[in-house]
Structure 1
Amino acid sequence: FLFAIGVAVALVPEGLLPTVTLSLAMGAQRMAARHALVRNLEAVETLGSTTFICTDKTGTLTQNRMNAVEVFTADGRVKVTGEGYQPDADIEGTAISAATRTALGARAASQGRAVLHGAEWRTEGDPMEAAIDVLARRLSGSVPEDAKPARRFAFDPRRRRESVIVGATLFVKGAPESVLPLCGESAGAAAEEVEAMASRGLRVMAVAMRELPGPVQDWLGRLPEEAEVDLALLGLIALHDPPRPDVGDVIQTAREAGIKVGMITGDHPATAAAIAREIGLMGSPELVLEGSQFPEDEQILGALLDRDGIVVSRVSPEQKLRVAKALQSRGHVVAMTGDGVNDGPALQEADIGVAMGLSGTDVAREASDLVLLDDHFATIVAAIEQGRATYANIHRFLTYHLTDNVAELTPFVIWALSGGQFPLALGVLQILALDIGTDLLPALALGGEPPGKGVLKRPPERRHLMDRRLMFRVFCVLGAVEAVMEMTAFSVVLFGGGWARGFPQNAGLVMAASGAAFTAVVLGQLANAFACRSATRPPWNQGWFTNRLLLWAVLAEIGVLAVCLYVLPVSAVLGQLPPPPIGFGVAALAVPAVFAADWAHKKLRPCLLYTSPTPR
């Protein structure tokens, strides 16, 4: 019965659950400091395993500061140059009247506006629609009146356009390939112009109108497809959204970390490709897919998408969901960004759903695991870096906990094998004191280890936490040495006090020997904590003061050891006494013994047979 209780207590790492939880919480806190809000603690560890990032273009890779720079009409081209959302601008071209009609028509179908707050112009609503509002102000030279629409047909991702009835006129704006086929001969050479604008990285919007025949009331209850026919093209508006200045370097950092990056956008394929080339995202050979080109077979789609630098354009929310599933079927851990109401299923399906904090909808944020408070692609990579650091920290304190469990279990195994003839080196209460009193603080400190410099210089972890290399290190290296030093300290005091097999056990002698074993385990824990900071470098090559929390934890551990040995009520409950000097001396050797074994293991690590990782 005593053996069963001892084994149960020794094998259950009581501090593991709070340590894991606190480590994940610390990782989430560090991510929040870098503008990444974690909504699900498990996502902290999953982020570290990310192998594929599917990112939006607008606002994530670009600045989401759209500026309407060009208007193309049948009468000619007008170029507009201005700063931000200021209404003042330089206008170049002769077709200003036609360009103004185009801008006003697009504005009528828009709800976003640029609003003056004090001395600063800011956007309210969609940034693209705010840019249209600014364009209308710049071309008309005044603030257009907001006419109350009789009916609004909202934007539909499948139609890729929206329209509004103002008076007896229908104004339509949307993707050129959606609007131009409805314009008949008035489209003219617009299709070629769309390709030319898009190839320069500009986002192109087509604007059309129709004078509705008959009473307006007859059209208010009809479907948009009934009204949006026989349109007259007003013109094309080209908008520029500059890339974020550091996004190219961040993409390269992700690639060095073994992570593939793909652009998933609703934009025109030529626009998406031009931006991808500009920021260095486009892979080699280049592949630009449209959502309409997706094969029906999921395996074929996965093979097509599974490449670094792929650009997928004109995707619907349903197709984003297919992208996530197809990449997962290829074994990828997928991070998918989204901001719209319809992006919810794709965000939930992805291993890491990433919502936009500035431009995203409440639905997208609720469906996500991670919210980018600054909508910045670099924040995703920073969160992955912290996720990898958290994974490494869990690996560290798992090694630390299990090593101590070996030392705690050993006395019960020896006692059982001797048939109870050899005294028990540690009792159940001493093991609980080790697990809760001295083991917990260093483990928490290991859980707060900052990210290493090379954390984004290696591929994602593809192995289990409990793999062969961890088990070998725990049972054959650190745990074995700690157990040997523990039993050596116990035996030196026990036999040095005159005990021999078959003699009655002297309670005072056994308690002093038990105190020596307890001291050896605690000092072994101390050395083990420093050894577990790295799987490849010895403690003296890591900097003793780079984790100050661990130093404070070690000092606290020594304090707890002193209380357990020298505060009589505590030592009496634990069943131990302070060991004699020889016991202290042998117990102190646990520190260099653990360091030496750890150093030898790390030196020989490349030669050991277990070095091939266990597949995850």
Structure 2
Amino acid sequence: MKNEKETRRKFATDPVPDLMTDLHTTSTGLTQKEADDRLEKYGENVITREKQQSQLLIFLKNFTSVMAILLWVSGFVAILSGTLELGIAIWLVNIINGVFSYWQEHEAQKATDSLMKMLPAYTQVYRDGKLQQINATKMVPGDVFNLQAGNAVPVDARLIKATSVQVDQSALTGESVPESKKVAFDAGQGEFAESNLVYAGTTVGAGTATAVATAVAFATGMNTEFGRIAALTQQQKPSLSPLQLELNRLTKQISLIAIGLGLVFFVSAIFFVHYPVAQSFIFALGMIVAFIPEGLLPTVTLSLAQGVQRMAKKHALLKDLNSVETLGETTVICSDKTGTLTQNQMTVDHIWTPAHSFTVTGQDFVNNGEIQLDGKPIKYGTDADLDLLIRLVAFNNDTEVEPSKGSARPKILGTPTEASLVILAQKSGIDTKAYSITYPRLKELPFDSDRKRMTTIHQHDDHTLSICTKGSLSDLLPHCDTIQENGKVRPLTEDDKKAIDDANRKYASLGLRSIATAYREVPQETDKEKQLDGLTIDTAETNLTFVGLAIMSDPPRPEIYEAIKKCHRASIKIIMVTGDSSLTAKSVAVKIGLTSDKARVVTGGELDSMSKEDLKKALAGEIIFARVAPEQKYKIVSTLQEMGEIVASTGDGVNDAPALKKADIGVAMGVTGTDVAKDAADMILTDDNFASIVAAIEEGRTVYSNIQKFLIYILNSNLPEAVPSALFLFSRGAIPLPLTVMQILTVDLGTDMMPALGLGSEKAEPGIMDKPPRARDAHLMSKTVLWKAFAWYGLIASIISSGAYFFVNHLNGWPLKGLATSGNTYVMATNMTLAAIIFCQIAAAMNCRTENASVFKAGLFANKLVWFGIVFEIFLLALLSYTPFLQELFHTGPLAPTDWIFLAIIPIPLFLIEEGRKWLNRCRLAAKKVDVVD
């Protein structure tokens, strides 16, 4: 990195003749032959991409997880054992889930393609001494080319001619204010601040220039700063989300338990029940299938998809399903300032003159406010000093604001700063078009970064010329020797200078930016053209009369205050990482409640010199990062991850892509963001609003809570599925199998999934954002989940379903007669066992909707998807019970009306008992809160 900066500095500081000699070029460019030779040597000016893994391998990896492999084997064993239908059913689960996962992954990453699209198509280049238009991909080091306002810069280059050039480098630096560029070298502040260098991927906002493409180290394609960031983005490989890691862990746990139990049951069936090996395989397979929730992965996938749809309605588009849950685990948000915490629109909100301080209402680049004095509206023509300041900012302006059309934002043809002054003039009521005719512009002395001023000269009347100047106060005030107050001009005193400086400091301490205005009127000479030629910077910008300050800001978003409070309640840390100045960054952070006034501000330069341990210590406290470079943002994110944090990072420019890809959740801006940032990110905000991130985090937490709910729901049926096999084994075959393998699959793949999907759409319980993010070592399969799934819901369902089996046998003569091993009685007994499990699941679906709150309070019928799932369960049971073909396949038989009555009663006491448990739990939690308060 150090060598790269030194090389770049050499290109900036070498005299132009020496640079041309080093590049073996001239002011009239290269010959076509030399350009062709260099093109062959250095390659085309394109962003290349790494060799991608084949689509076939990407597709196949979706079918090789631990769960998938186990199911492939299980299906194969089932087919070998003569149960073709069972094997096909198991394999079908893998196929559906694998195809769905591949489709999501295939749509996810296109960052490099977007980088290529951002490069300009054609450039005006000198070849053989003539200006030619060529494809930008054919540019080489040493090419001399022209730039003008609106052009995208095609390569890294050194300016050799420049007139009032301003370049938008926000895609590289994050700075919202355009950078002034000139031929003379000035180091500037921050990354990419050299005054005479321009970079690929940036845009010329104003002026014209001629530049030379620098040597291969910083010239074309992947060797530009733009290309270097692209390479860094490509090198960052995506990591597994916390949910993916947890599901992998969970499936391994369940699979090992299931395989272990299956082996025990297989051996026991051979040696204790004396089953043939083939039958023992089927028996053990039934046990494995009973304990593996085959529908878990597709149910999780579809539940995450529902979360994505809900987030889209909240202006957050998720590209990766697993990012939904990761959002809920976020512990730190690294957020940009401009456009995310603020509205990305410069707005004049104060005017200061020696006599008065005015307030300006309204926001955005639209005329939606007014100028006020002491809370009362004041129009143009009322105050002489205000009137003059309004005329000055209207005359001394090269920007146009095109009104918005429909829902589109106003279009700015120029700079945001001047756009805010245009809107200020509109709010005053001045007729700018009429004044531009009455006081035509005769000459302009453009803004440059040396003097930080802009001057325009206008015809005032037949005998007078008006010189209008605006710019930085520190650079304009020394050129003033008079001041206007209450319409009268008098000498500028030291007390006046102190009052002006005090006002500027007061606004600066609030993170606001001041533009100073001044003027001078000169008698028109007989030879006006000669007089205008003589009005140069040195002669025009002197003996000025100070008028006042226009104070502007990029206002915070209205929703940001509550969003930040919600993050703080949720123990989520927010770190501002911006390219703006330290003063502005801290002022905004304190104003919106992001940090206290004691927060430490670390600049990019300081960050470079910090060790990893020092950075970790700094990150542990209140901190703001200002003037940061792309690699530094990446460093901040990676360090936080090393500290065990789950990091969400926002960004909009090309420079943000590596950090977005590195973060656990990369959040790109949908309105102002580059395509590169959007494609590198996991989530895109369609409104560029920080509050949308918080809403997405809340949704992510809800998704995780809902996953646990339907995990309890799915797992609780495992115990009643396994108990029949255990009864068969421990009775040494005296108790026939109360449930067949196909009936177990009916529960796992049929009746379980629909209500589980309904649980995945359950709304958040109150207080979900009042808890800290879950610990990183916490697991989906928590003690609470295990207790509810097995010791509570599962145990009750096991007793009821097994009881149903014995009850049917009792109605047919048991215990006087033995338990039926075949025939109608056996079919009805197994069918009632299946039906009892399903109706226990109905109660479980309702009970799992809330953790502690009453379902009645949540709304008994509020979740229509759960009720749809319940209806589906009953319909599927009826279909299996009354369809001849399915009766034979699933070993079922028709249920009598009395059977349906018995089944309908089952959920009622289970639901009421659980409501009682939740009530007791709420009472216990309330008592704890009282104890804490006391």
TM over 0.5: yes
Conserved 8 A contact 2:351-2:360: no
Aligned equivalents of 1:148 and 1:369: distance in 2?
47
Aligned equivalents of 1:48 and 1:239: distance in 2?
37
SS in 1 for 2:861: coil
Whether 1:388 and 2:697 are equivalent positions in the alignment is no
Alignment of 1:338-487 (within 5 A): 338-462=651-775, 463-487=778-802
Deviations along 1:142-193, one digit per CA (max 9) or x if unpaired, are 4999x9999x99xxxxx9x9999xxxxxxxxxx99xx99x99x999999998
Aligned equivalents of 2:386 and 2:915: distance in 1?
78
Aligned equivalents of 1:306 and 1:206: distance in 2?
40
Aligned equivalents of 1:432 and 1:13: distance in 2?
9
Whether 1:202 and 2:512 are equivalent positions in the alignment is yes
- 1:266 deviates by 2.0
Deviations along 1:459-485, one digit per CA (max 9) or x if unpaired, are 222221112221122121111111111
Conserved 8 A contact 2:881-2:894: yes
1:77 to 1:551, Cα distance in 2 relative to 1, 3 A: same
The equivalent of 1:57 in structure 2 is: 337
The equivalent of 1:569 in structure 2 is: 885
Letter in 1 for 2:807: V
Aligned equivalents of 1:44 and 1:503: distance in 2?
51
Work out the number of aligned pairs and report it: 559
Deviates more, 1:24-33 or 1:198-207: 198-207
Conserved 8 A contact 1:482-1:594: no
- 1:381 deviates by 1.0
Q: Percent identity?
A: 36
Aligned equivalents of 1:126 and 1:196: distance in 2?
29
Conserved 8 A contact 2:736-2:819: no
Whether 1:38 and 2:351 are equivalent positions in the alignment is no
Aligned equivalents of 1:303 and 1:65: distance in 2?
35
- 1:575 deviates by 1.1
- 1:337 deviates by 1.2
User: Which one of the candidate residues 412, 417, 420 is aligned to 1:124?
Assistant: 412
1:136 to 1:451, Cα distance in 2 relative to 1, 3 A: closer
Aligned equivalents of 2:389 and 2:821: distance in 1?
107
Letter in 1 for 2:602: L
What is the RMSD of the two structures over their aligned residues, measured on CA atoms? Answer: 4.6
Aligned equivalents of 2:580 and 2:384: distance in 1?
27
User: Which one of the candidate residues 502, 522, 535 is aligned to 2:851?
Assistant: 535
Alignment of 1:308-319 (within 5 A): 310-319=623-632
- Higher normalized contact order (CA 8 Å, seq sep 6+, divided by chain length): 1
Deviations along 1:484-506, one digit per CA (max 9) or x if unpaired, are 11111101222442345877734
Alignment of 1:60-459 (within 5 A): 60-68=340-348, 85=365, 114-116=401-403, 122-124=410-412, 128=416, 131=419, 134=422, 142=436, 196-203=506-513, 238-283=551-596, 285-294=598-607, 296-307=610-621, 310-459=623-772
Aligned equivalents of 2:516 and 2:693: distance in 1?
33
- 1:124 deviates by 3.3
- 1:15 deviates by 2.2
Deviations along 1:492-540, one digit per CA (max 9) or x if unpaired, are 2224423458777342211111122111101001001011112224544
Aligned equivalents of 1:126 and 1:303: distance in 2?
43
Deviates more, 1:266-275 or 1:64-73: 64-73
Letter in 1 for 2:612: E
Deviations along 1:269-313, one digit per CA (max 9) or x if unpaired, are 2222222232222236433333333352223212312345x4332
1:370 to 1:149, Cα distance in 2 relative to 1, 3 A: farther
Deviates more, 1:422-431 or 1:13-22: 13-22
Aligned equivalents of 1:239 and 1:435: distance in 2?
62
- 1:602 deviates by 4.6
Aligned equivalents of 2:337 and 2:414: distance in 1?
15
1:3 to 1:269, Cα distance in 2 relative to 1, 3 A: same
Structure 1 unaligned runs (5+)? 154-158, 165-174, 208-231, 609-616
Letter in 1 for 2:613: Q
Letter in 2 for 1:557: E
SS in 2 for 1:570: helix
SS in 2 for 1:37: strand
The equivalent of 1:156 in structure 2 is: none
Aligned equivalents of 2:782 and 2:587: distance in 1?
45
The equivalent of 1:23 in structure 2 is: 303
Deviates more, 1:17-26 or 1:118-127: 118-127
